[in-house]
Amino acid sequence: MKEMTLRAIGRVRADDGRGYYALEIDGAYREGLLALSEFGRINALWWADRMDSPEYRGTLSCELPYAPGVRAGVFACRSEYRPNPVALTSCGIVSIDAEKGLVVLDYIDAFDGTPLLDVKPYIPVCDRAREVRVAPWFGEWPECIEDSAAFFANFEF
């Protein structure tokens, strides 16, 4: 299989204590922010670099921390243990300073300094389905991200 080369376009800035979350886009890629301010949400793709090891890349199933007693394959969950530790987060845009390459977010579940791979606008016709089926262990979860903060406050990951 052909190897691929990925280059970070920036990094995540995350400070849970201050409630500050942002993407810092490197200078070479800032033109890509043109017209992003027309959108309210993005999908951020990032590299789970703290989980990038041969051991973690070889882990193909895991116990789910949010579903005690359930083991699932990495393609059936959002585990950071993956053959390629690419992660995806849907984020609300708070503000954009294209000149500084700064996209301030409502939240992102990545560590400070995490390499950012790509940003795509959240477009309902592409990113939302009317009818979905989720695994039973997600049955009690909220249906939308806006309702999730209180729900996840009860979890210890």
CATH number for region 10-52+83-152: 2.40.30.70
* Average confidence (pLDDT) over 103-120: 97
CA-CA-CA-CA torsion for 118, 124, 125, 127, nearest 10 degrees?
50
Mean pLDDT of the chain: 94
- Report pLDDT for 145: 84
* Average confidence (pLDDT) over 87-100: 97
Digit-coded pLDDT (tens) for 115-144: 999 999 999 999 999 999 999 998 888 888
* Average confidence (pLDDT) over 21-27: 98
- Report pLDDT for 133: 92
The Cβ of residue 47 has, within 10 Å, a number of other Cβ atoms equal to 20
- Report pLDDT for 157: 55
List CB contacts of 87: < 8 A, sequence separation 6 or more: 45, 46, 47, 48, 78, 80, 109, 110
Amino acid at 123: I
- Report pLDDT for 1: 85
Digit-coded pLDDT (tens) for 47-75: 999 999 999 999 999 999 888 899 999 99
Q: Where are the domains of the chain?
A: 10-52+83-152
For residue 156, name the pLDDT band (cuts at 50, 70, 90): low
* Residue 146 in this model has a pLDDT that exceeds 90: no
